[in-house]
Structure 1
C-alpha cells in the first residue's frame, strides 16, 4: 500500500478529487468562505496526515500540476481580448485604477514588513499576494522569495476578497459596476473574480480584465523596485 501512496498518479488523483469535492460543497452551500481551493487544500492535508504520506511523495505528483501553472499565464490574455472595447473606451480610468491599486498592494506589504521587521525573503514572498498564482510564483522566484509562502498568501488574499468584497464596496459607497469589477480583480485576482461574476456581467468582465493588467503592473513595478534596492 505504501508503494501506491508514493506514486505520482496517487498524488494527482487525490488533488483532483479534493478539488472536485470542494467545488461540490461550494455549489451546494453557496458560502463564499467555503472556497473550493481552500477545501481542497484542507482535504489534501488531512489525507496526507491520516495515511502518513510524506510530503516528498505527494510533491512528486503535485509537481505535474505545478508544471502547467506557467503556460496557464497565457490565458490571462483572454479577458483582455474579450474586453478590448471597454479598455479602449475608458482606458485612462481603467489603467490608472489598476496601476494605483497594484502599487498600493506592493507598498502596503512593504510598509508592514518594515513595521514588523520581516526578513527580506519573506517580504519578497508576500509582494505578489494580489496577483494570480502563475505570475505570483514566477515573481516570487525572481525576487528570491519562497514560492510556497507566496501561494499561501495569494490564496488567503483571494478568499478574503471573495468573502468581504461586497461589504467593503458597500461601506465605501462604490456603485459603479466597472469600478467594482476593477477593484475586486486588482486586489483579489481570480478567487475574488468569482464573486464579481456573481455580482453581474459587467463586474465579472472588468474583474477579469483587471487580473491581467494588475499582474503586468505588479511584475514590472516589483522588478524595478527590486533593482533599485527597495526590497
Structure 2
C-alpha cells in the first residue's frame, strides 16, 4: 500500500471506523460477549496492519485523533450521572467506599503481580493505572516514568475483560443491586465496562460512569504513594 496514503489521517480514521462497524455487527449477529467490538475491532486492525506491512506510526497519524477525543468522550458521561443524581445522593457513602476499595485493590493486585514476576520499575509504573480510563491512565503512567503504549494496552485488555466477565460474575455472586453492580463494573473496567453497564441498565450505567471518574481521581492520588 502506498506510503503517501497510509501517512494521511484518513487511513487511520477509516480503518478504525470500518473495523468498529464490523465489530458491532459481529457482536449483534453472534450475541457472544467475547465478540466485544473493542476486542474484535482491535484484532482486525492489528491483522490488517500486519498483513499490509503498514508501520504503526502511519496508523497513529489518524489514530491520534481518536485518542484526542478520549477526554471529551469521558466528560460526556457526566450527563448520565446528572440524570441519576438522586440515586447517587441516596447511595453516596457506599459508592465512595466502593470506589476507594476498588482502586486500592486494583493497584495492589497490579504491583503484586509485577513483584511476583520480577518486572522492573518502568513496567510496574506502566501497569499500575490499568483499571482507570485511558485519558487518566496515560497521564499517571507518564508521570511515574511508565511506557504509555504498555499502559494503553493494559487498559484496553482490562476493560474488555470487565465488559465480558462482569455479567457472569454478577449472576455467580447473585448481585442484584444495580448500584453495586454499576460501581463494581466502573471501578475495575472503566469506560469499556461502562459501555456494557449502559446496556444492562440506566442505573448501572450511571453508577459505572461515576465510579470510573471517582476511581480515576483516587488512583491518581494513590499512585503518588506507590510509585
TM-score for the superposition, normalised by structure 1: 0.89
Say which SS state the counterpart of residue 174 (structure 1) adopts.
coil
Q: How far is 1:69 from its partner? A: 2.6
Query: Distance in 1 between the 2:200 and 2:9 partners?
Result: 39
Aligned residues between the structures: 226
Say which SS state the counterpart of residue 56 (structure 1) adopts.
helix
Deviations 1:149-177 (A, max 9, x none): 11111111111111111222233332222
Query: Distance in 1 between the 2:181 and 2:213 partners?
Result: 16
Query: Distance in 1 between the 2:185 and 2:122 partners?
Result: 27
Where in structure 2 are there 5+ consecutive unaligned residues?
none
The residue aligned with 2:44 is 43
| Segment of structure 1 superposing worse, 138-147 or 162-171 | 162-171
Instruction: Tell me how large the CA RMSD over aligned residues is.
Output: 1.9
| Segment of structure 1 superposing worse, 1-10 or 44-53 | 1-10
Change (3 A) 1:62 1:201: closer
The residue aligned with 2:94 is 93
Q: Quick check: 1:69–1:133 contact (8 Å CA) kept in 2?
A: yes
Q: Quick check: 2:81–2:207 contact (8 Å CA) kept in 1?
A: no
Say which SS state the counterpart of residue 145 (structure 1) adopts.
coil
Q: Quick check: 1:72–1:134 contact (8 Å CA) kept in 2?
A: no
Q: Quick check: 1:76–1:211 contact (8 Å CA) kept in 2?
A: no
Query: Distance in 2 between the 1:16 and 1:132 partners?
Result: 21
Query: Distance in 2 between the 1:71 and 1:176 partners?
Result: 30
Change (3 A) 1:221 1:187: same
Deviations 1:73-124 (A, max 9, x none): 4334334433332222221111011111111111111111122111111111
The residue aligned with 1:139 is 140
The residue aligned with 2:69 is 68
Q: How far is 1:183 from its partner? A: 0.8
Say which SS state the counterpart of residue 130 (structure 1) adopts.
coil
Change (3 A) 1:159 1:89: same
Deviations 1:41-92 (A, max 9, x none): 1121122122221222222222222222344443343344333322222211
Q: Quick check: 1:83–1:209 contact (8 Å CA) kept in 2?
A: no
Q: How far is 1:130 from its partner? A: 0.9
Deviations 1:6-28 (A, max 9, x none): 32222221122211221221222
The residue aligned with 1:8 is 9
Say which SS state the counterpart of residue 119 (structure 2) adopts.
coil
Query: Distance in 2 between the 1:78 and 1:11 partners?
Result: 29
Query: Distance in 1 between the 2:66 and 2:203 partners?
Result: 31
| Segment of structure 1 superposing worse, 95-104 or 26-35 | 26-35
Q: How far is 1:30 from its partner? A: 2.1
2:55 corresponds to 1:54: yes
Query: Distance in 2 between the 1:198 and 1:10 partners?
Result: 31
